[in-house]
């Protein structure tokens, strides 16, 4: 063993091979340093509507436009939106209120295969986007998938969107950076924040809507700004 040359970042370990003991070489395991992600400000609904209205209506541009709308309305992961079919989007009447109920299969390690049903409100603050998506659904048969492109393609297009929001970095100086571009998971944070601000969803309602296991996730995903705090005071 003394004569063995071990490259940097590798180590030896001993195993038995029959009656003999041999040494094998493997790469050392290093603890990965997790870099904290920047925290974007939550844009309001009018900004979302502006982005949609500026989108093109031909070819691939139209498909990604409606994928953008679906991702926001559902507050779902990219893979969950991509695997939905027309039959998963159904009109329902609950308590004399017409909604669109969407059935999705959770696409997360440890929760794969769990069924989650999400309501989309047709006459709420998001009514413009909801009605636009209803028109889009008319072009599909029940068993047809709504979006026929890959997860990587969806990520690539969403990351081109300039939300124009400020980002608080985690540097030592903690400074703001303008023109933050989109990230697919941003829709979950954004939808959760809007449901709380516009509809007053509490922690339990958000946990049910997004399929979270613990109420702490609702606190992590929603962003509280000064306007929201002043609004609570005015309602009191």
Strands (E), the chain: 10-17, 20-27, 39-40, 89-94, 97-105, 115-121, 162-168, 176-181
Check whether 136 has a pLDDT greater than 90: yes
- Mean pLDDT of all residues in the chain? 78
Mean pLDDT of 55-72: 86
Q: How confident is the model at residue 178 (pLDDT cuts 50, 70, 90)?
A: low
* Contacting residues for 6 by C-beta, under 8 A, at least 6 apart: 12, 25
Q: Give the pLDDT score at 179.
A: 56
Q: Give the pLDDT score at 176.
A: 47
Check whether 61 has a pLDDT greater than 60: yes
Instruction: Map out the domains of the chain with their CATH numbers.
Output: 39-225 (1.10.443.10)
pLDDT digits (tens, 9 = 90+) for 10-37: 666 666 666 667 666 566 655 554 455 5
Mean pLDDT of 145-155: 89
189, 222 Cβ separation under 8 angstroms: yes
H runs (alpha helix) in 83-221: 127-137, 151-158, 186-199, 203-210, 216-221
Q: Give the pLDDT score at 159.
A: 80
The pTM score is 0.74
Mean pLDDT of 140-161: 88
Is residue 49 classed as helix, strand or coil in its secondary structure? helix
Q: Which residue has the higher pLDDT, 12 or 204?
A: 204
* Contacting residues for 155 by C-beta, under 8 A, at least 6 apart: 78, 184
45/125 Cα distance (integer angstroms): 8
12/186 Cα distance (integer angstroms): 44
Q: Which residue has the higher pLDDT, 137 or 57?
A: 137
Q: Give the pLDDT score at 234.
A: 66
Q: How confident is the model at residue 96 (pLDDT cuts 50, 70, 90)?
A: confident
Which residue pairs, CB below 8 angstroms and at least 24 apart, start in 206-215? 209/75, 209/118, 209/119, 210/75, 211/106, 211/111, 211/114, 211/116
Q: What is the DSSP letter of 58?
A: S
Q: Which residue has the higher pLDDT, 129 or 5?
A: 129
């Amino acid at each position: 063993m003394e004569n063995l040359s071990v490259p940097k970042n590798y180590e030896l370990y001993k195993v038995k091979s029959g009656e003999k003991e041999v040494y094998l070489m493997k790469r050392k395991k290093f603890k990965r340093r997790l870099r904290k992600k920047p925290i974007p400000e939550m844009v309001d609904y009018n900004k979302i509507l502006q982005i949609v209205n500026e989108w093109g209506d031909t070819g691939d541009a139209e498909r990604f436009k409606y994928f953008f709308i679906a991702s926001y309305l559902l507050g779902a992961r990219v893979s969950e939106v991509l695997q939905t079919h027309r039959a998963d989007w159904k009109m329902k009447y609950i308590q004399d209120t017409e909604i669109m109920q969407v059935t999705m299969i959770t696409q997360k390690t440890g929760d794969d295969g769990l069924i989650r049903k999400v309501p989309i409100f047709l006459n709420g603050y998001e009514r413009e986007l909801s009605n636009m998506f209803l028109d889009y659904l008319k072009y599909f048969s029940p068993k047809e998938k709504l979006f026929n492109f890959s997860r990587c393609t969806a990520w690539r297009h969403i990351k081109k969107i300039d939300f124009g929001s400020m980002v608080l970095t985690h540097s030592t100086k903690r400074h703001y950076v303008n023109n933050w571009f989109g990230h697919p998971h941003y829709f979950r944070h954004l939808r959760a924040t809007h449901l709380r601000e516009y509809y007053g969803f509490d922690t339990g309602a958000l946990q049910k809507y997004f399929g979270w296991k613990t109420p702490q996730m609702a606190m992590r995903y929603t962003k509280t700004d000064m306007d929201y705090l002043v609004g609570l005071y005015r309602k009191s």
